Amino acid sequence: MITSIQNNRVKEWRKLSTKKGRLQTDLFLVEGMHLIEEALKSEWEIKEIILKEDKVLPTACTGLPATSVSNQVFHSISQTNSPQGIIAIIAMQEQDITYSNGDLLLIDAVQDPGNLGTMIRTADAAGFSAVLLGRGTVDLYNDKVIRATQGSLFHIPLYTVDLLEEMKAIKKAGYSVWATALENATLYHETPVGNQTALLVGNEGAGVDQELIAESDQVVHIPIYGKAESLNVSVATGILMYYLKG
């Protein structure tokens, strides 16, 4: 039982709540049994389980290294308002990018963690083959992003790339790139859908970068029938992903 927040192991765990700490170790934290079970099902490497003092190691985690900590220590590590009493330390996965059959989601500088997590979850649900995160996008391993994915983080390949460079390879692999924008765009439901599409969506305020739009094959938009100025980016992305699949 670790009871002091000054314990060196606790200090190292707490560093994983920062992007810098995660990048230095290639580790990240996941809270709650549902997300841990999804990681186990997808065979991600769990380095250690941290348990609040009144919790028993779940059967699904049998055989994993586990450490009990006091309530005070657990709350110093936890990043949720209502902790479930279990945290996993998980190793990041390094994957080479491969383009198999299936549509792609390209994300340019989306900064809200909830939006990014929801888009990853929807891409998983819609059967997209991968999600590519461009520069300026919120850190994939941010705790709010992880929670918003509801486990889809572990189901679908995710890559952090330079989108402008990667679009060359995407187009070479036979994909048609659809960028979203309000100007000089066609209605999405009037745009012919090819065999493989890479859907490119952008920042909540600025939209897709103009250089990326210039490299796209189609520019599309969703009509607004009411008085709203625009749609939330994760909602718009969901509409377009399901249209492409349908």
List pLDDT tens digits, range 35-53.
Answer: 999 999 999 999 999 999 9
**Residues of the chain above pLDDT 70, percent:** 100
**Which domains are present in the chain?**
8-91 (3.30.1330.30), 104-245 (3.40.1280.10)
Sign of dihedral through CA atoms 93, 98, 101, 104?
positive
* Sign of the torsion angle spanned by Cα atoms 76, 80, 82, 88: negative
What confidence score (pLDDT) does residue 95 get?
A: 80
CB 44 within 8 A of CB 154: yes
96 falls in which pLDDT band (50, 70, 90)? confident
- Other beta carbons less than 10 A from residue 238's beta carbon: 19
Give the residue among 61, 63, 71, 69 at the shortest CA–CA distance from 34: 61
Give residue-wise pLDDT tens across range 143-202: 999 999 999 999 999 999 999 999 999 999 999 999 999 899 999 999 999 999 999 999
pLDDT band at 94 (very low <50, low <70, confident <90, very high): confident
Cα angle at 213 between 212 and 215, to 5 degrees? 65
Q: What is the rounded distance in angstroms from the CA atom of residue 232 to the CA atom of residue 146?
A: 19
